[in-house]
Amino acid sequence: MPANDTKWVKFGDINNIVFLGKDIIALSSGYHILFVNLNTKYEKIEKFDNKDRGDGISSFSGHPTQKKE
Protein backbone atom coordinates (compact mmCIF):
# COMPACT_ATOMS: atom_id res chain seq x y z
CA MET A 1 0.00 0.00 0.00
CA PRO A 2 1.49 3.40 -0.95
CA ALA A 3 2.49 5.63 1.95
CA ASN A 4 -0.24 8.19 1.21
CA ASP A 5 -3.16 5.72 1.29
CA THR A 6 -5.52 6.14 4.21
CA LYS A 7 -6.04 2.90 6.12
CA TRP A 8 -8.68 4.14 8.57
CA VAL A 9 -10.60 7.26 9.55
CA LYS A 10 -12.70 7.98 12.60
CA PHE A 11 -15.65 9.83 11.13
CA GLY A 12 -17.12 12.57 13.32
CA ASP A 13 -20.10 14.43 11.95
CA ILE A 14 -21.13 12.87 8.67
CA ASN A 15 -21.99 15.67 6.29
CA ASN A 16 -23.55 13.64 3.51
CA ILE A 17 -24.62 10.09 2.65
CA VAL A 18 -25.55 9.21 -0.93
CA PHE A 19 -26.28 6.12 -2.99
CA LEU A 20 -23.97 5.74 -5.98
CA GLY A 21 -25.82 2.71 -7.27
CA LYS A 22 -28.07 0.01 -5.86
CA ASP A 23 -25.29 -1.41 -3.69
CA ILE A 24 -22.78 1.40 -3.07
CA ILE A 25 -23.05 4.27 -0.60
CA ALA A 26 -20.64 7.13 -0.01
CA LEU A 27 -20.25 9.06 3.26
CA SER A 28 -18.28 12.27 3.62
CA SER A 29 -16.63 13.92 6.58
CA GLY A 30 -13.96 16.59 6.39
CA TYR A 31 -11.82 15.79 3.37
CA HIS A 32 -12.51 12.04 3.41
CA ILE A 33 -15.10 10.01 1.51
CA LEU A 34 -15.86 6.45 2.57
CA PHE A 35 -17.28 4.20 -0.14
CA VAL A 36 -19.11 1.08 1.09
CA ASN A 37 -20.40 -1.85 -0.95
CA LEU A 38 -23.49 -2.95 0.99
CA ASN A 39 -23.38 -6.49 -0.43
CA THR A 40 -19.72 -7.34 0.09
CA LYS A 41 -19.01 -4.90 2.98
CA TYR A 42 -15.89 -3.75 1.08
CA GLU A 43 -14.85 -0.25 2.18
CA LYS A 44 -12.57 2.22 0.41
CA ILE A 45 -11.45 5.54 1.89
CA GLU A 46 -10.40 8.37 -0.40
CA LYS A 47 -8.72 11.54 0.87
CA PHE A 48 -9.03 14.87 -0.97
CA ASP A 49 -6.42 17.00 0.78
CA ASN A 50 -4.22 18.47 -1.94
CA LYS A 51 -4.41 20.32 -5.25
CA ASP A 52 -4.16 17.11 -7.26
CA ARG A 53 -7.19 15.67 -5.45
CA GLY A 54 -9.25 18.89 -5.31
CA ASP A 55 -8.22 20.56 -2.01
CA GLY A 56 -11.17 19.20 -0.06
CA ILE A 57 -14.82 18.34 -0.59
CA SER A 58 -17.37 21.10 -0.91
CA SER A 59 -20.25 18.89 -2.03
CA PHE A 60 -21.04 15.62 -3.73
CA SER A 61 -24.23 13.88 -4.75
CA GLY A 62 -25.52 10.52 -5.84
CA HIS A 63 -27.51 9.74 -8.92
CA PRO A 64 -30.84 7.89 -8.96
CA THR A 65 -30.35 4.50 -10.60
CA GLN A 66 -33.84 3.09 -10.42
CA LYS A 67 -37.00 4.45 -11.90
CA LYS A 68 -39.57 5.33 -9.24
CA GLU A 69 -42.95 3.76 -9.80
User: What are 27-68's pLDDT values in tens digits?
Assistant: 887 788 889 999 999 999 888 888 887 777 767 777 666 545
Give the pTM: 0.68
pLDDT digit string, tens, across residues 7-23: 666 666 776 788 888 88
Residue 34 located in a structural domain: yes
Please check the confidence at residue 1 and state whether its pLDDT lies above 50.
no
What pLDDT, on the 0 to 100 scale, is given for residue 36? 93
Q: Are 37 and 25 in contact (CB under 8 A)?
A: no
Domain residue limits at 46: 16-51
Domain presence at residue 44: yes
What pLDDT is recorded for position 33?
87
For residues 30 and 10, the answer to whether their CB atoms sit within 8 Å is no
Q: Quote the number of domains for the chain.
A: 1
Nearest CA to 33 among 60, 2, 51, 4? 60
